[in-house]
Amino acid sequence: NAGVTQTPKFQVLKTGQSMTLQCAQDMNHEYMSWYRQDPGMGLRLIHYSVGAGITDQGEVPNGYNVSRSTTEDFPLRLLSAAPSQTSVYFCASSYEGGRGETQYFGPGTRLLVL
Amino acid sequence: TQLLEQSPQFLSIQEGENLTVYCNSSSVFSSLQWYRQEPGEGPVLLVTVVTGGEVKKLKRLTFQFGDARKDSSLHITAAQPGDTGLYLCAGAKGSTLGRLYFGRGTQLTVWP
């Protein structure tokens, strides 16, 4: 199993550009999430999904779109990048296994918006 | 507003010392998890606690879930430089499946 994979690993954008951060998991997990991590802020939830076709907003959804057409994939779209979106983005997948929910994280995408 | 308050934010200690990290909330959680994150990598799960009052041990790490399931602590005995990293607590609520609430993390540095 590859687990959770994210592409690209690094990206530099200019203000106003759009891009899609890719996330895929091969563990057949129902739940997937996108977080951003900034210094001193921990992990902040952007959007999450409890299954194909179902998404919901987290704490900081503005400026980001998601869709979940398959169980495996959960792309995150930046519509018009802003410098405030410079961050490290983590995708995670999880399941409820009866002993609480365990999230498995990808390696992250480091995004710089100029 | 942070649902889970973690303290301290930074901890710098010498090898061999003991330490405790706290994770507190006014909300009840169905489970609480501790993750550790190394620089340049994603968080990795250390432990999940589910039952109020539960204590779990992982070598030199001891995790406790509060009786009321609102708080948790992580205690490290005889810390080693390899324990250096960012420790994150995260809570799950049964009413919002698929969503975890993370604390801001504790950056631990253990000096040789």
For residue B31 the two structure tokens come to: 């489970």
For A:52-111, CB contacts with B below 8 A are 56, 58, 90, 92, 94, 96, 99-108
Please name the residues in contact with A83: beta carbons below 8 A apart, sequence gap of 6 or more.
A15, A113, A114
pLDDT (0 to 100) of residue B19: 97
What percentage of chain A reaches a pLDDT higher than 70?
Answer: 96
Please name the residues in contact with B13: beta carbons below 8 A apart, sequence gap of 6 or more.
B19, B79, B108, B109, B110, B111
CATH number of the domain where residue B101 is located: 2.60.40.10
Residue ranges of the alpha helices (H) in chain B? none
pLDDT at A98 over 70: no
Please name the residues in contact with A60: beta carbons below 8 A apart, sequence gap of 6 or more.
A36, A44, A45, A46
Q: What is the pLDDT of residues A5-14, one digit of tens each?
A: 999 999 999 9
Residues of B with CB under 8 A from a CB of A: 2, 6, 9, 30-33, 40-45, 48-50, 88, 90, 92, 97-105
pLDDT at A68 over 70: yes
Domain assignment of residue B13, given as a range: 5-111
For residue A43 the two structure tokens come to: 């992990």
Sequence letter at residue A62: N
The number of domains in chain B is: 1
pLDDT (0 to 100) of residue A103: 85
